[in-house]
Structure 1
Amino acid sequence: MDRLSTLLDHFHVRASLFHTGPLCGRTVFEAQPDRAFLHVLRRGELQIEHPGRRGTPRGELKARLVVTEPTVLLYPRAVHHTFVNPPTDGSDFTCATLHFDGGDRNPIVAALPALLRVPLDAVPGLQPALDLLFAETDRARCGSRLLADRLFEVVLIQLLRWVIDHPHAVGVTHGLVMGLNDPRLARALVALHDAPQDDWPLARMAAVAGMSRSAFAESFKAATGTTPSAYLTDWRLTLASARLRDGHPQKLVAADLGFSTASSLSRAFKQRFGRAPRDWLQGQG
């Protein structure tokens, strides 16, 4: 069962290498809308500062963190952070910015904490991809930058795969990741992701999960923090917002995603986003 591909097919992520080598002294990474960061600490030690210890839906970032081993650091949302390294002979990094389609509304982004801090040796199979990445970033060759960008995306997918299997290791206790961590709930979630336009009564969802309706509804709510029907509506609206922003007609979007009419999509959209689709699109522009 592939728990990630449909999500990434609908909401692409693009990586862009911007640094490889030592970082010395203080390096500030400003928070900018819809810009994420993926840092790989290859060698050395690092102190991270988070001014204001900003709170997030997934908890509060610590004001200071010390990293003492090779580690991957993923900031899936816009978070101001500062790396503090020795003034000379700083620690060695390879870093990329990430653009997740939909920004904070991307379901993967919304399901993750503000910072994922994972030692490199904790993720099986990650090292071969990193070896290829470092080989491309350490020596300039034809196509190296483009290949490095794609390899960063491979590293991200491997990291996300590991997080789904080890949510508590990164502080995830509820939400989409917890649902995908449960094999029974994951079967239902993958089916919803694959066919949002279908009719999905509770009985059908429970049957896909191989559970009774009551057990499925209770387990789903405990894992994700929402009801199955509310999750389905939210998934459809998340897809609708992406397609509307790409210029698809509202009537066609409604039909493709299981809404009875364009008006029913508009009502649900306004309830979720606070504005009708047309007004919301103008705000996006």
Structure 2
Amino acid sequence: MSDRLASLLDHFSISARIFHSGTLCGINDLPGDGATGQLHLVRQGVVEVMHGDAAAARITEPSLLLYPLPMTHRFRTDPERGADFVCANLCFEGGPANPIAAALPAFICRPLTALQGAEPVLNLLFAEAFAHNCGREAMLDRLFEIVLIQVLRHLMEDGGVQVGMLAGMGHPRLRLALVAMHDKPAHDWSLEELAGHAGMSRSVFANSFRERVGCTPGVYLQRWRIGLAQRALLRGRPLKWIAIEVGYGSEAALSRAFKASCGMSPRQWCAARQGNAPLPAAM
């Protein structure tokens, strides 16, 4: 069976960098004004998670808290006993335009026992986090990245995301069409061909795809291609070569599709990026 995450992670990298390990006591505010998401692992302790004035979760067992994109949050713990945390910043290449970050809920809270097969990695991560071994930070960064992949597997398998790309990747048939598009974005995909990959009739495939992924296969393919084009632009690739690589016959065709998805031309998008203006993801 094709690896559902291989093309996504090859094209849009995710990196982690640990910034805290130890006990947090009382009230701790974490601002959401940066460019990174965060992944918190709670080893022990009771934690009240607040989003503004609203209670978002109450942690009473070892758990993970995932914020794919920047979001202000607050942890309340016992002022004396506190709770043991290991925390990392997450950088999704492309920020909000990263298809994995865009597909994830804004906040995910799961007990660590829900991550099947993750116990050895988590045990190693906690052991490293609370020791003082050489190479500790580099090792923890890699272990956080592994945990995040296990979270993605979990969300695809247990139906934790109801609509969107990850929901489609969790479907036993639709995933085959999605992987085909991810692997070969330049191919001239027809609805019939994609339905064939999924082993479904054209009408059943189209309806199932729209219901599960939240858009038509054609719209999804365009978003995927534009996301790849944005990534290539950031890496300095010439527009005429990008057009060929992502499945558009000419620079003009890519520019039209880009503007339809992003509301601006590729050159305007690059200029806005260089000026640090807010950038829209593919719509």
For structure 1, list consecutive stretches of 5 or more residues without a partner in the other structure. 53-61
1:89 CA drift (Å):
2.0
Which residue type is aligned with residue 211 of structure 2? A
Say if 2:171 is the partner of 1:182: yes
Work out the CA distance in 2 between the residues paired with 1:138 and 1:41. Answer: 13
Work out the CA distance in 2 between the residues paired with 1:122 and 1:149. Answer: 22
Of 213, 218, 232, the residue aligned with 2:221 is 232
Of 183, 188, 200, the residue aligned with 1:211 is 200
- 1:94-113 CA-partner distances (Å, limit 9, x unpaired): 11010000111111111111
Could you tell me which residue of structure 1 aligns to residue 241 of structure 2?
252
Work out the CA distance in 2 between the residues paired with 1:99 and 1:178. Answer: 22
Of 51, 62, 74, the residue aligned with 2:66 is 74
Could you tell me which residue of structure 2 aligns to residue 26 of structure 1?
27
Work out the CA distance in 2 between the residues paired with 1:135 and 1:67. Answer: 21
- 1:4-51 CA-partner distances (Å, limit 9, x unpaired): 121111110110011111001111111124310000010011001101
Work out the CA distance in 1 between the residues paired with 2:173 and 2:59. Answer: 36
Question: Is this contact kept in 2: 1:40–1:71, CA < 8 A?
Answer: yes
Could you tell me which residue of structure 1 aligns to residue 86 of structure 2?
94
Question: Is this contact kept in 2: 1:34–1:104, CA < 8 A?
Answer: no
Work out the CA distance in 2 between the residues paired with 1:259 and 1:64. Answer: 44
Work out the CA distance in 2 between the residues paired with 1:117 and 1:166. Answer: 14
In structure 2, the residue corresponding to 1:177 is in which secondary structure? helix
Question: Is this contact kept in 2: 1:34–1:100, CA < 8 A?
Answer: no
Question: Is this contact kept in 2: 1:37–1:75, CA < 8 A?
Answer: yes
Work out the CA distance in 2 between the residues paired with 1:150 and 1:195. Answer: 28
Q: TM-score, normalised by structure 1?
A: 0.93
Work out the CA distance in 1 between the residues paired with 2:86 and 2:106. Answer: 20
Could you tell me which residue of structure 2 aligns to residue 59 of structure 1?
none
Work out the CA distance in 2 between the residues paired with 1:34 and 1:186. Answer: 30
Work out the CA distance in 2 between the residues paired with 1:82 and 1:156. Answer: 22
Could you tell me which residue of structure 2 aligns to residue 107 of structure 1?
99
Identity of aligned residues (%): 45
CA RMSD of aligned residues (A): 1.1
Which residue type is aligned with residue 52 of structure 2? P
Work out the CA distance in 1 between the residues paired with 2:210 and 2:225. Answer: 18
1:147 CA drift (Å):
0.7
The count of corresponding residues between Structure 1 and Structure 2 is: 273
1:63 CA drift (Å):
3.6
Say if 2:29 is the partner of 1:37: no
In structure 2, the residue corresponding to 1:183 is in which secondary structure? coil
- 1:221-242 CA-partner distances (Å, limit 9, x unpaired): 0101100111101100011011
For structure 2, list consecutive stretches of 5 or more residues without a partner in the other structure. 275-283
1:146-185 alignment, distance < 5 Å = 146-168=138-160, 172-185=161-174
Question: Is this contact kept in 1: 2:35–2:70, CA < 8 A?
Answer: yes
1:139 CA drift (Å):
1.3
- 1:85-144 CA-partner distances (Å, limit 9, x unpaired): 111221001110100001111111111111111100111111100111112111112211
Could you tell me which residue of structure 2 aligns to residue 124 of structure 1?
116
1:271 CA drift (Å):
1.3
Question: Is this contact kept in 2: 1:29–1:82, CA < 8 A?
Answer: yes
Question: Is this contact kept in 1: 2:43–2:126, CA < 8 A?
Answer: no
1:274 CA drift (Å):
1.1
Q: TM-score, normalised by structure 2?
A: 0.94
Work out the CA distance in 2 between the residues paired with 1:125 and 1:69. Answer: 18
